[in-house]
């Protein structure tokens, strides 16, 4: 027991006796239980129950019906398209995210905070608006519409539009994970590497990148989950051509609207499973490499 604490309690308490500090939790036991119960009930009701409902609905007509949902060619093509879009958008986001966070964390330049807020923009802009912007730019009536049309290029209502919209909404995920960590790590290791004669590229490859690898993986996971699950932005630019421009979330809506409830929930369960797997890996990473993931986890 520290002397400070004893002093604070005043002279009435004996100095030789161990001083009983008031518990940092001042609420009564009952209040504590009530608060925890409310929190748990809230989570169960708003998160767990819907999740269970998705799987329950998907399996309502049995396992065979569940798997039969995945024989529909339109559904298969939606799954394929989603993988394709993520396979393009996520690597590009890795490149952009690394470049941006490297520049922001390791260098000082004018307009840095502006760049930071730009990276955060997709978090604050509604995805639907993002989709609309691309329609305004690349739609037939848009700024580049005429030029694209005369060169027979289709962006909106085709895969490039879906990729663009996905990149937009997932843009912050990688950069946001890397920036705080890179900032905390500082530049001393890079300086050491450079002073030992390594080139800039070598330094990046052998020093900077390994230092952030788990944070990068973490960001990529989040980025991928969002890329595959995005609805609003891709809905605007998709055109909803069956078997051609529908991603998994759009296909779920279509199936639901066609009274195909089992199939709708079966396909939705794929997305939900993706979310659960992401969550599991994410927790694993946090548990195992917490200190290397983000500066925020270190303390």
Q: At what angle are helices 73-106 and 112-124 packed, to 10 degrees?
A: 160
Residue 123 vs 147, nearer CB to another protein: 147
Rounded to a whole number of angstroms, the minimum distance from the CB of residue 124 to another protein is: 25
Is 84 an interacting residue with respect to another protein (CB under 8 A)?
A: yes
Residue 115 vs 243, nearer CB to another protein: 243
DSSP alpha helix (H) spans, the chain: 3-8, 29-43, 49-58, 62-68, 73-106, 112-124, 127-138, 145-150, 159-185, 188-195, 200-203, 209-211, 213-229, 232-238, 248-257, 261-293
**Binders of another protein: how many residues, by CB under 8 A?**
38
Residue 52 vs 140, nearer CB to another protein: 140
Residue 51 vs 84, nearer CB to another protein: 84
User: Dihedral, CA atoms, 34, 39, 41, 47, nearest 10 degrees?
Assistant: 180
Is 283 an interacting residue with respect to another protein (CB under 8 A)?
A: no
Position among 20, 60, 112, 213 found at the interface with another protein (CB under 8 A): 213
Please give the C-alpha separations between residue 45 and each of 49, 51, 164, 276, in angstroms, as whole numbers.
5, 10, 35, 17
Is 285 an interacting residue with respect to another protein (CB under 8 A)?
A: no
User: Dihedral, CA atoms, 126, 128, 57, 277, nearest 10 degrees?
Assistant: -60
Task: Show contacts with another protein in window 247-266 (CB under 8 A).
Answer: 254, 256-259, 261
Task: Show contacts with another protein in window 137-196 (CB under 8 A).
Answer: 138-142, 145, 149, 154, 156-160
Residues forming the site for another protein (CB under 8 A): 84, 87-88, 90-91, 94-95, 135, 138-142, 145, 149, 154, 156-160, 205-206, 209-210, 213, 239-244, 254, 256-259, 261
């Amino acid at each position: 027991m520290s002397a400070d604490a004893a002093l604070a309690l005043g002279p009435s308490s004996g100095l030789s006796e161990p001083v009983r500090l008031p518990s940092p939790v001042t609420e009564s036991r009952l209040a504590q239980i009530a608060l925890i119960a409310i929190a748990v009930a809230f989570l169960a009701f708003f998160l767990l129950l819907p999740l269970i409902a998705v799987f329950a609905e998907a399996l309502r007509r049995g396992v065979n019906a569940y798997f039969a949902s995945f024989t529909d060619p339109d559904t298969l093509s939606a799954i394929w398209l989603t993988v394709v879009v993520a396979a393009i958008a996520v690597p590009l986001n890795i490149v952009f995210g690394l470049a941006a966070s490297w520049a922001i964390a390791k260098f000082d330049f004018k307009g840095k905070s502006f760049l930071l807020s730009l990276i955060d923009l997709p978090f604050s802009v509604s995805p639907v608006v993002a989709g609309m912007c691309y329609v305004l730019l690349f739609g037939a009536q848009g700024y580049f519409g005429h030029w694209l049309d005369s060169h027979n290029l289709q962006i909106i209502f085709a895969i490039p539009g879906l990729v663009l919209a996905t990149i937009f909404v997932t843009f912050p995920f990688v950069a946001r994970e890397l920036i705080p960590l890179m900032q905390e790590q500082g530049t001393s290791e890079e300086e050491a590497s450079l002073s030992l004669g390594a080139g800039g590229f070598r330094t990046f490859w052998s020093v900077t990148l390994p230092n952030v690898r788990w944070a990068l993986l973490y960001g990529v996971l989040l980025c991928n989950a969002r890329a595959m699950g995005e609805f609003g932005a891709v809905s605007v630019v998709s055109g909803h051509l069956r078997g051609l421009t529908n991603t998994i979330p759009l296909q779920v809506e279509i199936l639901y609207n066609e009274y195909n409830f089992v199939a709708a929930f079966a396909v939705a369960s794929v997305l939900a499973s993706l979310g659960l797997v992401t969550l599991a890996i994410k927790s694993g990473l946090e548990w195992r490499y917490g200190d290397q993931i983000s500066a925020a986890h270190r303390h």
